[in-house]
Each structure stands twice: as C-alpha cells, then as structure tokens.
Structure 1
C-alpha cells in the first residue's frame, strides 16, 4: 500500500468517527433538552432513536457518497453531499412517520437531525483545515509527474506550489522529444512522453498529470492509463478550461468518444433568488446579533477622532450600478485629500491602492481593519440588496474604468462582504491573483461554496493576514 493510500484511509476513518460523534452528540443533547434525565414509557422509544441516529447518519452519508475520496480534501462537493444526505434523512423520517402512523415529536426530529448534519459539516470542515495545515508543512501530499510542453509544465508547477492545499507536489516532468527543459528550474526532467512509467518508478510518484498537448492523442493516453493501472498510479488529464468547477462539467459519450459538456454559470433564475433570500435574512440576523458590538465600535470611533462614525463611498455593484457602501470610518476626515501625495507609496500592483502603514488610518482604525470590524456596516448594504454576504470585492468607479474586458466579468454578480480574495490573503494577494479568484467565484457560484467561504472567513479574520 502506497503512502498516499495510507493517509487517505486514515482521513476517511477520521471522517467516519466525526460523523458518529456528530450523530451521537446531536441525539444526546436534543434528548436531554426535550425529555430531561428521566426515562419514561413515553420517551423510551426516543432513546432507541437517539442510539440509532449515528448509524442512520452514517448510512445516509454513505449512500450520498460522502466518503468517496474523489469528493474529499478540496472543493465543495463533500459538503453538498452531506447536506443532500441530511435532507434525505429528514424527508425519510417524515415519510416513515406518516406511513407507519408514528407519533413522533416534531420538536425532537426537527432539532436532532439538522443539528447532526450541521455538526457533521463543521467537524468535516475542521478536519479539512487540519489537512490543509499539514499539507502546508509538506505532509499528506501526492507526488506528481507533470507531462506536457515546457510552458504548460511551468504554469502548472507554479500554480500547485502557490495552492499547496490541493495536495499535489510536483516531483518531476516529462517533456516532448527534443526539449531539454532548461527553463523549468528546480523541476527534474525524467525524459520524454515514452518515459512516463519509468519516471513514476524513479520519482516514487503516485499521480501523473497530463497537460493539454497535441502529441498525446487518445490512443497514447489509453496505453499510458493501462501502464499506470498496474501500479495503482492515478492518471489526471488537465482540461484547457480555466477555473471551471466540476459541477458545471459533464462527460457525455458520443460514439465511444468522451465529450466534455460545459454548462453556463448560474447567474440568474431560482438559484440566485435563493442566494438573495439567504443573504438578506442572514445579514438581518447578524445585525440583530451583533448590535451591541456595532454600538461599541461606533462609540470608539466617535470618541477617538473627529468626524462621522460611518464612512460612505460610491462603489460599483452588479451590472455596473453605482451604490454607496457603508463602513465604520477608520481614517481621518482628510484622507481623500491626502491621497495624491501618497500615491507614489502604493504597495499593491494593478488598479488598487494599498499602503501597509497608511498614515491616514486612525489608531482605532488599525484595530478595526485588522479584524475587519470596519466592514460590518456593509450588512446594511446586503439587507438593501446592493451587496451579498459572499462575492467579488466591491470596486471603486476609478478602478472599474481601468478594467480590462475580462476583468469586467466580476460585475456579473453582486459584490460581497467577503469572498475567495478575503480568505486567500486579502491585500497580500497580487492583483492578477485577486482577479482570478473573483472570476473563479463568478463562474462557479453555489450556496455550499458560500457557506464554505463564510466558515473560512472566520479563520482569516482571526489570522488578520493581509488586513491593512
């Protein structure tokens, strides 16, 4: 058994334990709150149901394929399958109760089952974060041989080094015949396309990634797959599509040929209506929940520097519509007038203006920015329908005027309080990378992706990296 298979099996066993724990905890807590400590003839049946809940949850998640390794480690497929399994479990409980005329306490069912699902998602998220931390330290990685042209290999190697949480470590490459690979730097060359099998053995690799190149046709790929199959080495064929998630792609056979069908992104329709309702209700709930904190921050801003508590600025929203964004004021009132004299100190590339030690920021403002507290009033923009909880960064009109045609795609959705840019480094990201993350979000939006980003935002705010 390879090292990859060993840590993957340990990870799946940990997932099973997490789900058993989620089911047990949700059942026990709900039973205690609903019936107390006393066991009676009435609640004895609920004790049995509480004991069965972990096994039922495990079975439903197994049927939903929430333990298949191709859906784990990165992406939102894992969480989507857990949520679908949870909906199926609740619907199944309702149908069984109706069919058998069982007098189930609705409060128990409507509390225990959703709690178990939410707890499972949270525990799986924590387990994945632990895996990503381990991967950043060089552990639990797949050893990858890249197969393709030199420029493609350079680009893929650079991207995999930047996003190590995907768990792919490049240990070598195979290039077309006649290429010496001098521009590959530290990536070791193991020969040409005919040497892939021997390269896997010499590099102790467990994964081969074939990049788009005309020299490798279907027959050659099939023979390569047969050779790798003997040693249980994974074969990945990289698509030429950029930042298109698996949920939008479907393999459809046509006369024996696998055709990749790409669906259009969900920018309109019912799914967007669900997102809008989720955003507004979520923002309204957060405003009520965070009311005392908002009042405290407002008092601190008012007491430490003259000027209004709220900072209002024109930003560009969906389809280029202008709106006024609300933020707690973190700068002195003459900040805009002093911008011209500080323009030469800009530390950010692209169209953004950022200075790590901006002299225009107040003492309280530095703390507000560090923990993103200055952005909380944007919940009002979300309630008004001008922004989303999750989306691309809300740009200034001057920034939009400098956009290239591709970058304008960011305006196809509402801007967000947080997004992939926020959880991936915020102001520390290069402009090109920030744009790529925003475009990836626009192309692959889903409600489960929003939930994952919101969870990752909490850890990003605590780390406060890139916040200035």
Structure 2
C-alpha cells in the first residue's frame, strides 16, 4: 500500500511497547517506492513525458533553424550576391563548411531554452517571445562574428534571409506540432491518466476545465468524494487503487480536506505520481497569473488583462484577414442560400436582431432568416417549453417556428455566416462569447455582464463544448469567462478548428 499510516492517532496506536520484544516489520510502501531496486519501473511518468516532449521540440527547432540557414545560404550563393566581395566567417567556420551550423544551433537553442520556451505548456506557446529569442540570437551571432574577425566582410543578406526563414520555419513548425498534438488527442491518443480528489462540485468543475482547455490531454480514471466519512477512512485502499490504475497525476480540488497532507504528498511522490492542487473555487480575473512565494505563503500576481492593448489589435487584424478571405471564397454558397430562403418561405433573406455587444452597446446582428416572419410574437406562446435552466436563454429542439431551409441551415450553423459582416464592421469577432438578444439579457445576474468586456464572437468556447446540449446558462457563462481569462491567438485557432469539427458532426445543433 502507498499509505502505511492513516493519521497521527493510528501512528500512536502502532507504537510498540518497549517492554515487549520488537518484531521485525515490513513496510509495504517500499515496493511502490522509486528508491526501491525496481526504480526503472516506477520513474516519475510526468518527468519522463516532459523530457521526451522537450527533446522532440528541441530537435524540431534545431532542424528548422538549420533549414532556415541552409535556405538563406543557398539563395545568397546561387545569386552570387557577394561572391566577388569576400567570404563570410562565423566563429571560425565558413558557410561553405558543414560545421558552420554548430555554433549557430548552440547559441540559438541556448537562448530559447534560457527563455523557458521548453518548459511549461503556456510558455511553449508564447510565439512573440520566441520571435524575440530568434532575433536576439541573430544579433549575438553578428556581434560574435564581428568581434572574432573584425576585418572581415559580413554578408548582411545572409543574416537577414536567415533570420526571416528561421522565424517563419520555427513558428510554422511549432504551430503544426501543436495542431498535430491537438488532433491526436482529439482521438483519445496520448492521454494522461489522472485521479480527482475533492467534493463533487469541485471535481465537476475540474472535469469541465480539463476537458475544454487541455483538448483531451487528461483522462479522468477515477475520483473520491472528500465530503463522505468513508472516503476519508479508506486512504490506504484509495492510494493503492490509484497506483494500480497507472495514474500519472493526482489533482486535489480541496487541499484543506486532505487528512495528513504531508504524508499524502510524500507517498505520492515516492510512487512516481505527480500532485497538482486545483484552486477550483478561486476565479482569477486575468490571464497569465504568476505564483510567487513570499516566505512560505504562495501569492498570485496578475498580468495585463486579456484582449486589451496589443492583444486587441492582434486579434482584430486576424479577424479582418480571415473574414475578408472567407467572404471571397464562400460568396457562391451565400448566394445559393439566399435563393433557397426566398423560395422556401415568404419574407426577407436576412434577419437582423438587436443584441448586446462590447460594453453593453446595442447592435444589429446579421443572420440568414431561419424562422417564419412572426417568430418573435410566437415565442411568447412557447416560453413554457424553454429547455434551458434559469430562463436566461430560450432553446427548444422542435421549435415550430423554424422553416424547412432554416432547419438545415441551423443544423450546420450556416445561418451564422452573414455575421462576417458584423466582424468587418468591428461589432463582432470570429471567436468570443455569443451576443445574446435583449430578451435574454433581461435575465442576467450582475456578474453575467462580465462577458461583455470583450467583443462577442461568431463562435466560442461554449459552442465547441456542447452547443445547445449545455442546458444550464451558468455553465455556459463559466465557459465564456474561461475563454476571456485564458485568451490567446492559439486558443482562437483551436476554437475555430473545433468549430469546423463540431459543425460537420452536427453535435448539439438545433
């Protein structure tokens, strides 16, 4: 068993009487200890996975950096830009020699590693920092080349082209690698088995967060309810079951409820199982919090709020580019849908409805009409059939107001395509919390208006996490806040990619 002592009281009961002859005892925990002779079978799975992942990432970066320099070298030599002027020497190795890449790779990879871009998952996705590291490496290479051979001519074209190709190749390679990991994990491969410990409410929130943010990276194989007395009495059996299920990490949602937490921690670590503490009840208002220890007290420091400043304009530029390209390519489809709507039922092609946008501003959202003309009047008669809890939103599977063409458009979310016009006008974004009708906003609680701090989106985390299958608005609100607090351009890419998958599978759409 992992636990040999359940509590301090149990430890006192097990103290042998000094007057009696002490019998030799065997600690069963040693068989699950990494310090045992079978250490190779009980290595820390998390550390092993991280080591393999970092080696693969470092190898990919090295290959792409080399490819960038070799491409730049080939262009410079083939065009004979500087053949008549002089040769180039970098730290004793000419580009014509195969060994010239070794110092380049050593310096560049060293700077990337020093910046922490081979560590945690959020650090590996900081592409702006990666560009800065590649630029800094290029500057250092130029300075070293000049100091080592001050009288030699430096091929500026080689450095400029190498920097451009290196940045493009490395960024593209990392993006493809992340996309490949997401695709593989979406099929249930490369999952990490974990165990949840906490109250039912906390473990449910943890399951939702892990499922949405990690792209099925974690597979919950079991959980224990700390609110039951039986759960606290069976620690040895619980911990033994955790190891037998080949669990790599344990997520604790209520650390204060753990009996004898120090012994719990040590038994997990000696068995090669990582421990994570999830502050599920703590709703962080900003993205990228940093934990700093002051003495033995952990403190959380917040960075700049998400989707503000340069983040906003980066997201806005991405929205404009994609929206223009989509409108150009799908214009024949839009025209066909317009004709079908006109033939199916009387009324206008587009439906414009006032909705709540950024900072509570009202705007008209564009959609293809999917309902009969008097749909708004008929909704009052259907309020009793609302299938969403809380009454904030109105959703009904077999809504009699939907037309035949409208049902098809809704099934594949084609009715949302005209909202690309709202994106061009700056009223919406491609990804963000969905803009809600004024009827739904009337049921908002004060904390629900936090979702209006960003531009509403055509799709969002809520839509790719079940869409209409999520029948509790409070859960949908949590997903919107989760997106706002954890925004990144990569997250937008992931949600757009998932949107295509969800739409074609017609999951939760009606």
TM-score, L = length of structure 2 = 0.70
Q: Once the two structures are superposed, what CA deviation does each residue of 1:20-70 show, in whole Å capped at 9, x if it has no partner?
A: 787799899x88xx96xx967669969989999x979977765554444x4
SS in 2 for 1:380: helix
- Matching residue within 309, 312, 335 for 2:352: 312
Structure label with greater radius of gyration = 2
- Matching residue within 360, 363, 372 for 2:413: 372
- Contact 1:208/1:233, CA 8 A, preserved across alignment: yes
State the distance in 1 between where 2:286 and 2:219 align.
Answer: 18
Q: Once the two structures are superposed, what CA deviation does each residue of 1:395-435 show, in whole Å capped at 9, x if it has no partner?
A: 01111110112222112222111111122121122223211
State the distance in 1 between where 2:100 and 2:465 align.
Answer: 40
State the distance in 2 between where 1:246 and 1:413 align.
Answer: 13
- Matching residue within 406, 411, 425 for 2:452: 411
Report how far residue 322 of structure 1 moved: 0.7
Report how far residue 394 of structure 1 moved: 0.4
Q: Once the two structures are superposed, what CA deviation does each residue of 1:83-132 show, in whole Å capped at 9, x if it has no partner?
A: 53245325644775696442239678646632542243133222223123
RMSD: 4.3
Aligned to 1:191: 234
Cα 1:254–1:114 shift into 2, 3 Å: same
- Relative contact order (C-alpha < 8 Å, sep 6+): which is higher? 2
SS in 1 for 2:276: strand
- Contact 2:432/2:460, CA 8 A, preserved across alignment: yes
Q: Does 1:89 align with 2:134?
A: yes
Aligned to 2:149: none
Report how far residue 77 of structure 1 moved: 4.6
Aligned to 2:493: 451
Aligned to 1:79: 125
- Contact 2:467/2:508, CA 8 A, preserved across alignment: yes
Report how far residue 448 of structure 1 moved: 3.4
State the distance in 2 between where 1:268 and 1:215 align.
Answer: 38
Aligned to 2:315: 275
Aligned to 2:290: 250
Unaligned runs of 5+ in 1: 182-188
Q: Once the two structures are superposed, what CA deviation does each residue of 1:127-174 show, in whole Å capped at 9, x if it has no partner?
A: 223123216xxx73324252x4x4556545764796682414243537
State the distance in 1 between where 2:339 and 2:311 align.
Answer: 39
Aligned to 2:220: 169
Report how far residue 453 of structure 1 moved: 2.2
State the distance in 2 between where 1:129 and 1:190 align.
Answer: 41
- Matching residue within 219, 234, 244 for 2:274: 234
Cα 1:263–1:64 shift into 2, 3 Å: closer
SS in 2 for 1:347: coil
User: Aligned residue pairs: how many?
Assistant: 443
- Matching residue within 465, 471, 479 for 1:424: 465
State the distance in 2 between where 1:249 and 1:213 align.
Answer: 20
Q: Does 1:321 align with 2:361?
A: yes
- Contact 1:175/1:191, CA 8 A, preserved across alignment: no
Q: Once the two structures are superposed, what CA deviation does each residue of 1:276-319 show, in whole Å capped at 9, x if it has no partner?
A: 34434443444344444433433443444432222111001122
Unaligned runs of 5+ in 2: 1-40, 84-94, 147-153
Q: Once the two structures are superposed, what CA deviation does each residue of 1:356-380 show, in whole Å capped at 9, x if it has no partner?
A: 3434333333333233222122122
Aligned to 1:180: 230
SS in 1 for 2:463: helix
- Contact 1:144/1:170, CA 8 A, preserved across alignment: yes
State the distance in 1 between where 2:385 and 2:379 align.
Answer: 10
Aligned to 1:126: 180
State the distance in 2 between where 1:208 and 1:246 align.
Answer: 26
What is the 5 A alignment of 1:37-48?
none
- Contact 1:381/1:387, CA 8 A, preserved across alignment: yes
Report how far residue 324 of structure 1 moved: 0.4
